[in-house]
Amino acid sequence: MKDGFTTLGEWSETTDTAAGIILIDQHDRLLMQLRDINDRTAGPGLWSIFGGQVEPGETLHRAAIREFAEETGLTVSEDQLTPLGRAVSARGTGLYAFTVKMPVDPRDIRLGEGAGFAFLTPAQIETLPLMPAAGQIIAHYFTLCDASD
């Protein structure tokens, strides 16, 4: 465990660092992003969490909050973030994921990046093609949920 993040899968040297947020709504659904389909997007057409690159001098918390706001229009505070897990993407990016539990009305989301979004149950997520690193982190989240039941 590093700084509260459980290491998932093989952790090796990373080329970049990214931070993201898994929002859990009032119905215990996860807010997920459908990735754009183009040559510039990692994981085109796959589902993932909202997040992105950590800028120079930026903390993981600040990067996650900034990216989440840019991509969803939703504001969260640092004290709402709970470290969850970290995994390495196929491109060598180290993805650090936080969770946030808060009520959200889908009409409040202003999609700033991605082809779409959805609030999804575990059963729905199991049927979707996920970006591998995000899939590892989400599976870890569900394992923790099962353990607390």
Cβ–Cβ under 8 Å, residues 140 and 85: yes
What is the percentage of the chain residues whose pLDDT exceeds 90? 81
Q: What would the DSSP string read from start to end of 103-145?
A: ---GGG----SSSEEEEE-HHHHHTS-B-HHHHHHHHHHHHHH
**Long-range pairs for 122-131 at CB < 8 Å and ≥24 separation?**
125/30, 125/32, 125/47, 128/32, 128/47, 129/45, 129/46, 129/47, 130/46, 130/47, 130/48, 131/35, 131/42, 131/43, 131/46, 131/47, 131/48, 131/89
State the Cα–Cα distance between residues 28 and 34, nearest whole angstrom. 19
pLDDT at residue 25 is higher than 70 = yes
pLDDT band at 13 (very low <50, low <70, confident <90, very high): confident
State the Cα–Cα distance between residues 122 and 135, nearest whole angstrom. 12
Q: For 14, which DSSP code?
A: -
Domain range list for the chain: 6-148
Average pLDDT over residues 142-146: 91
pLDDT band at 46 (very low <50, low <70, confident <90, very high): very high
Architecture of domain 6-148: Alpha-Beta Complex (3.90)
Place of tokens 């085109």: 44
Residues contacting residue 39 through CB under 8 Å, at least 6 positions apart: none
